[in-house]
Every structure is written in C-alpha cells, then in structure tokens.
C-alpha cells in the first residue's frame, strides 16, 4: 500500500493542542476522566521508559515495572498536592521498582559506584535533576510541535526521523519541492520558537542534553 507515512502509526499525536497543563489533567483524572489519564500517560511514559532502559530492565521485567508504576500512580492520584512534582514522583517510583526487580532477580551488576546504575543516589542528585530537566525540555518541545499547523509539524517530523531521510524522500512524502524544504523548515522552526510551550522553556540546560 503506497500510503504517505507521515507519522508512524504508533506515534501518539493527541489532537487538539496542549492547553491542558499537568494540574488540570490530574484534576480531571481524579474526576474519572480516562482521556485525561491517557494524556498523562503520553506525557510521562517516555520518562518511565527511558529510566527502565537506563537501569537495563527489559522484557517481562520492564512490563512489570511499567505496570506497577502506573498502578501506583492511579492509587496516588488523590494524594498529589503539587502536580509539578509529578515527574519527580514517577521517576522515584520507577527507580525503586527497577532496583527491587534487579535485587529480586539476584542480579549483581558490576559495581563501579561512579557509573553503576544500581548505586543508590539521593533522588535530588545532579544526575536526577539533569534527567528531569532534559525530560521537561523534551516534553515542552513535543508540546510546541503540537501547536504548529499540520503541514509544518509533519515536515519537522520527517526531518527528525531516525535514521535520517534523504531530502528527495522528504520531498516525496511531504509534497514539497526540494527547494522549498529549507525555507519551510526555517519558517516552521521560527514558529516553533514562538509557541507558548517553547517560550515557557526559560533556562536551556546548557545546550547539551545527553
């Protein structure tokens, strides 16, 4: 089938912009809104996934950790006083569940305390903060992307495919002549910078996010 695969089918691009902040989503989820809950999942699942990957929890173990984390959040919903602290809470629960699972499996990871992911660090170590800041920035960028008109958003999605697409391929899929890709990209990025989500990003970490 020769369909224009602009967005991967499993890419979750919730329709209708990103006006709702975390506090609103939490309040609506408390009221029983599955849609609000799903939006919270979209926002924070990449954080949970990246932590599990970092602690090398995979396969069925990752399924268990992931499920436990979200079930815990369901229980915890009514006790969230400060919705902005939610990413930190989720990260802490995920880390603890990863550690427990590693202990449960009797895994002894080679212990270089400088690098071992199982080395207990306080939850507000620079490491943890950097992780959360990067995640927050990533989330804001994705939110910013959602504020763009579909054509510009689709172009940026094509330009950020991994592995990268050729300009000929981008042209074919976007319907833009190769000569228009550069100018359209420039306008799309300019508009991205003017989105509310992007402007809310006050302090770029230091440009390097890895």
Partner 1 sequence: MTDLPPEDPAVLDPDDQQVLDELAEALSSHRDVEPRHREAARSAFTWRTVDSELMELTYDSLDAPVTVRSAIDALPRALSFASGFGTLDVELDGDRVRGHIVPAAVATVVMSNAAGATLGTESDEDGMFDFPGSLPGPVRFSIEGEGAGTTPWVTL
Counts of helices then strands in the chain (DSSP H, E): 9, 0
Selection from 43, 36, 37 nearest residue 141 by Cα: 43
Contact 181, 170 (CB under 8 A): yes
Stretch that binds partner 1, among 14-22, 81-89, 121-129, 139-147 (CB under 8 A): 139-147
Q: Coil, strand or helix: which one is 133?
A: helix
Residues 86, 87, 97, 195: which binds partner 1 (CB under 8 A)?
97
Q: 18 is written with which tokens?
A: 């990103």
Residues numbered 167-196 forming contacts with partner 1, rule: CB under 8 A? 167, 170, 178-179, 181-183, 185-186, 189, 192-193
Please work out the total of residues on this chain that contact partner 1, with binding judged by CB under 8 A.
Answer: 69
Q: 12 is written with which tokens?
A: 């979750």
Q: What is the DSSP string of 175-200?
A: ---HHHHHHHHHHHHHHHHHSHHHHT
Residues numbered 49-68 forming contacts with partner 1, rule: CB under 8 A? 49-50, 53, 62-68
Length of the chain: 210
Residues that bind partner 1 (CB under 8 A): 8, 10-12, 29, 32, 34, 37-38, 41-42, 45-46, 48-50, 53, 62-68, 70-75, 77-78, 96-97, 99-101, 103-104, 106, 118, 120, 135, 137-139, 141-142, 145, 156-157, 159-160, 162, 167, 170, 178-179, 181-183, 185-186, 189, 192-193, 207, 209-210
């Amino acid at each position: 089938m020769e369909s224009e695969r602009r967005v991967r089918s499993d890419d979750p691009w919730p329709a209708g912009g990103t006006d709702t902040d975390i506090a609103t989503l939490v309040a609506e989820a408390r009221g029983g809104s599955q849609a609000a809950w799903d939006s919270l999942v979209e926002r924070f699942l990449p954080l949970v996934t990246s932590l599990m990957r970092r602690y090398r929890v995979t396969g069925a173990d990752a399924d268990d950790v992931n499920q436990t984390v979200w079930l815990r959040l369901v229980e915890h919903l009514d006790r969230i006083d400060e919705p902005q602290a939610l990413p930190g809470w989720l990260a802490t629960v995920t880390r603890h569940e990863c550690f427990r699972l590693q202990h449960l499996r009797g895994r002894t990871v080679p212990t270089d305390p400088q690098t071992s992911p199982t080395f207990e660090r306080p939850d507000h170590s620079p490491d943890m903060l950097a992780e959360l800041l990067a995640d927050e920035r990533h989330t804001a960028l994705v939110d910013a992307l959602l504020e763009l008109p579909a054509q510009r958003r689709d172009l940026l999605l094509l330009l950020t495919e991994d592995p990268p697409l050729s300009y000929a391929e981008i042209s074919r899929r976007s319907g833009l002549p190769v000569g228009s890709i550069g100018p359209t990209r420039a306008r799309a990025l300019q508009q991205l910078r003017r989105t509310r989500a992007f402007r809310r990003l006050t302090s770029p970490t230091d440009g390097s996010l890895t």
